[in-house]
Amino acid sequence: MSTNPTTSFQAHDQRFSAILGTSPTIELLAENEKYPFAHEAGVFFPDTNKLYITSNRCIGPEKQQKVHITCVDLSKEPVTNEEISTEIPMANGGINYGRDHVLFCAQGSMTQPSGLYRMSTAAPHKAELSKGEFFGQQFNSVNDVVVHTDGSIWFTDPIYGSEQGYRPPPSLPNQVYRWHPDTGNIRAMADGFGRPNGICFSPDEKTVYITDTDRVHGDGTVDDQRVSSIYAFDVSTYHGEPFLTNQRLFAMADNGIPDGIKCDLEGNVYSGCGDGINVWSPGGVLLGRILIDGGVANFCFGRNGEVFALNEHRLWRVQLGEGVKGALLGL
């Protein structure tokens, strides 16, 4: 276990020991005191051993808000960071898209649309807008994304961009969408959220988990009476099309908000929260916490129990039991 006093592991259920393994560790991989480079995305490519991450909002030289995209080369010791220059406006969440592309959520700007951008992992990292509107209406500020094995793309669209001053007033509700690039079909799949944020599928893709981070608004206002929770939905089929049914409260984050969310192959649910990464069983029981001072907005799995935790100015590597494998890549 890490000897750093700001990091540790806390068990709430005996099942957490199987996840931790015999000798869990937390290691600081990289640090950047100039700006919070490790905030969102967390997209790992095993073939190249590289990790793509997005920063928190920064102020550019002309006082405009911007987000940096960084490629972390994990094969080097110490790891190296390369800032990527792209035209993706205010990048946030992301996911592997084929062997050599990242699908980024672009929150947009006053002049550029919010939507989904496809970026090449090869230099010069060409990026192109894949989807930037809902039947002519602009998205609010697309936040997080996941890809189904049928090729459809599911993503959340809260109103943070408008609240934080870099997007126009919202023209759509806080919703979750499904877009299929092959057919061009796009649908609103779930509504009624305060601020829909993280999204992931269970390993069998029969359940969708969506975080609602309404407790913290984009202007920094915190309201403890608003939800800070994870909701589970069944993926049902009617008339040959998917619907989200049986919405239920899966878990509430008691510290901060549940931001990024992932599953392991056993169906356990991990979410970045105000105290680090919280882990729940598939039945919604809090198993334990990976405690990192300052919290974790997002994270991703590497190989054999490896987790890369994004902690704003710091990037950490957490080593859990080698049998733990992320559902997204199955590693």
**Could you read off the pLDDT of 30-40 as tens digits, one per residue?**
999 999 999 99
Give residue 2's pLDDT band: very low, low, confident or very high (50, 70, 90).
Answer: very low
In a domain, 52, yes or no: yes
Q: How far is CA 179 from the centre of its chain?
A: 18
pLDDT value for 69? 97
Kind of pairing between the strands at 241-252 and 229-238:
antiparallel
* Selected residue with higher pLDDT from 321 and 87: 321
Q: Which amino acid is at 207?
A: T
Query: Does 3 have pLDDT greater than 50?
Result: no
**pLDDT over 70 for what percent of the chain?**
98
Contacts with 62 (C-beta within 8 Å, 6 or more apart), sequence order: none
In a domain, 248, yes or no: yes
Average pLDDT of the chain? 96
Average of pLDDT values for 292-317? Answer: 98
Distances in Å between the Cα of 235 and the Cα atoms of 118, 245, 247 are 26, 6, 10
Query: Does 116 have pLDDT greater than 90?
Result: yes
Contacts with 304 (C-beta within 8 Å, 6 or more apart), sequence order: 322, 323, 324, 325, 331
Query: Does 1 have pLDDT greater than 70?
Result: no
Contact 156, 199 (CB under 8 A): yes
Average of pLDDT values for 120-134? Answer: 97
Query: Does 5 have pLDDT greater than 80?
Result: no
Q: How many domains does the chain have?
A: 1
In a domain, 17, yes or no: yes
pLDDT value for 259? 98
pTM beyond cutoff 0.95: yes
Q: What CATH number should be reported for the domain holding residue 245?
A: 2.120.10.30
Query: Does 230 have pLDDT greater than 90?
Result: yes
In a domain, 187, yes or no: yes
DSSP letters for 33-96: SSS--B-EEEEEETTTTEEEEE---EE-TTS-EE--EEEEETTSSS-EEEEE----TTEEEEEE
Tokens 């893709």 sit at which residue? 205
In a domain, 328, yes or no: no
The residue among 211, 209, 193 whose CA lies nearest residue 268 is 209
**Which structural domain range is residue 39 located in?**
7-319
Element (H, E) at 162: helix 160-163
Q: In this structure, what token pair is assigned to residue 306?
A: 């490896």
Query: Tell me: the pLDDT tens digits for 54-96?
Result: 999 998 777 889 999 999 999 989 999 999 988 899 999 999 9
Phi, psi of 91 (to 5 degrees): -60, 150
Q: Which amino acid is at 17?
A: S
pLDDT value for 63? 82
In a domain, 324, yes or no: no
In a domain, 331, yes or no: no
In a domain, 2, yes or no: no
